Amino acid sequence: MGSILIVIVSFGLYIIAYHTYGKYLARKIFRLDPDAKTPAHELRDDTDYLPTKREILFGHHYASIAGTGPIVGPAIGIIWGWVPCLIWVVLGSIFMGAVHDFGALVISARSKGKSIGELCAEIINPRVRTLLLLVIFFTLWIVIAIFGLIIALLFNMFPQSVFPVWMEIPIAMWLGYSIYKKKGNVTILAIIAVIMMYITIIIGAYFPLRMPSLFGFQPLTLWVIILLAYAYIASVMPVWKLLQPRDYINAHELFIALGLLIIGIFVAHPKIVAPAVNLHPQGAPPILPFIFVTIACGAISGFHSLVGSGTSSKQLDNERDAQFIGYGSMLMEGVLAILVIIAVAGGIGMYLKTQEGTILTGVSAWNYHYASWGAASGLGAKVGAFVNGAANLLNSFGIPRTIGLTIMGVFVASFAGTTLDTATRIQRYVITELATDYNIKPLATRHGATTFAIVSALILAMSQGAGKGGLILWPLFGTTNQLLAGLALLVISVYLLKNRKPAWYTICPMVFMVLMTGWAMIKNINIFYSGNQWHLFVIGIIVLVLNIWMIIEAIISWRVKF
């Protein structure tokens, strides 16, 4: 199958799914009510609860859930072949991921914007709430650590991206101030902000900034420390000042990047040089069940339920917007994942310059990154495969490689940043809730909870050393994240059953995710044990036990109530 045909068929399936399956869920299962009063209006405080225009909220939600998950996952998972990756991304996003995201957003919006963890107390029982909050804590702990590490790797690999990424912060703060305090025209302001953003990209392309070693710390370590310090500041600020406008800019940046990639595919129509199926790549774990946890965000991701119920439900202006924001955003994330698959399966074969200066094309370029699971430089090489492949596509219609590499480097780093600061904000909520429950007063405050979130993530990130360690953390993130997706679907299923609604639409994907990811977690635990990676072994055991315990509690509660 050619790259152009992949785009046409998969995008067509997404459009059909939104207007058929998505509409059916909205009208017949969840019965969205345009007259319902949402938490954004009922509890408005202009910090977390804020009625937001649907196009702005779509930008925030999409940027938050997309991050680099649908980039890193497919860029790693394609080592098993582009066909299984494509099938999982398309079918998973339509029938699992979008249903999961949509359901989490709706049930939270109908419960005063409570997080998926808080909802457990009402829908199942208070004990399950604590169990899920603990699972969420471990998931976000890994998310903050690994996405801080990814951005640091990108800054080291593509120093052209450093200036534009950091300049996005003052641009976003100007945008938020202009919209909410000066009541400026959103469309005009957004256009100006995006133009400013791309001016910084051009500057960054010709003036790369490299982090030197300082005070005995390597550049990677310094970047992780700086990024987590930024995440601390961003997570405690009112949502309209930085988080929301930055995500809005990033959403526009994403749409432009997607458009450029699509143009590149149609102009270059790159030949797919990756194998269609590769069941036993050197050093890689087995395709089953690991493809379902390696490619997470492009198909289904438990982190999305935290965004939908943690921030987006508190900004939902009208309940009828939930299909567009919840179901639609997930399909758009699938679009990104598909373009990533094409970029690393075909785009990378157009041109690749190695560190030694050798020019590679075709299968040789593919093998440079994917000869084995740990080829080149681990996680950094997999992200670099997408950036280089995407830059080749842009170069096919006249964008210089220097500019193309910067555009894509900034694109990936910016979206990792949105995941980082959104995850830190949500982690603050989780730690505060747990600390309040157990009367740990120092952690029940905004700054106390955020400090704990940042310091613990820094310790985990640094425990893995440089980029190769990311390939250890990523499967742990995937399994924990996907188990959370199964648990979120469990909560949504119980909600539907409690309200006498058909629940097969959530029960089937819930069972699949729990079984596949539980299987993967057990295998990961064995790998951690064999490799004497005791901190990861302990985290895996704790998360697995919490999941099993919560499922048992939910089954008992359901049998008692029904």
Tokens 């089954």 belong to: 555
pLDDT reported for residue 507: 94
pLDDT reported for residue 423: 87
User: If you ran DSSP here, which 8-state letter would residue 125 be given?
Assistant: -
User: If you ran DSSP here, which 8-state letter would residue 286 be given?
Assistant: P
Beta bridge partners of 372: 282
- Alpha-helical (H) ranges within 78-218 are 82-92, 98-109, 116-123, 126-157, 162-180, 186-206
Q: How far apart are CA 409 and CA 427, in angstroms?
A: 27
pLDDT reported for residue 149: 83
User: If you ran DSSP here, which 8-state letter would residue 352 be given?
Assistant: E
Query: What distances in angstroms separate CA 514 from CA 349, 467, 495, one per listed residue?
Result: 37, 29, 18
pTM, two decimal places: 0.87
Question: Domain coordinates of the chain in residue numbers?
Answer: 3-561
**Closest by alpha carbon to 150, among 407, 412, 408, 388?**
412
Q: How far apart are CA 140 and CA 305, in angstroms?
A: 12
Tens-digit pLDDT profile for the chain (562 aa)? 689 999 999 999 999 999 999 999 999 999 999 999 999 999 998 777 889 888 888 887 887 787 777 888 898 899 999 999 999 999 999 999 999 999 999 999 999 998 888 888 888 888 888 888 888 888 888 888 888 888 888 898 889 999 999 999 999 999 989 988 888 888 899 899 999 999 999 999 999 999 988 877 888 889 989 999 999 998 888 878 887 788 788 878 888 988 999 999 999 999 999 999 998 888 888 999 999 998 988 899 998 998 898 789 999 999 999 999 999 999 999 999 999 999 999 998 898 877 777 888 888 888 888 876 665 445 667 778 888 899 999 999 999 988 999 999 898 888 888 888 888 988 998 899 889 888 898 999 989 999 999 999 888 887 765 444 455 666 677 888 888 899 899 989 989 988 889 999 999 999 999 999 889 989 989 988 888 888 788 888 988 888 888 888 877 766 655 5
What counts of helices (H) and strands (E) characterise the chain? Answer: 24, 2
Contacts of 236 (CB under 8 A, 6+ apart): 428, 446, 447, 450
pLDDT reported for residue 468: 45
Does the 3-561 domain belong in CATH 1.10.4160? yes
pLDDT reported for residue 467: 42
Mind giving me the DSSP string for 459-504? HHHHTT-SGGGHHHHHHHHHHHHHHHHHHHHHHHHHHHHHTT---H
pLDDT reported for residue 247: 79
Sign of CA dihedral 98, 101, 107, 113: negative
| Tokens representing residue 409 in the block | 């480097």
Longest pairwise C-alpha distance within the chain: 67
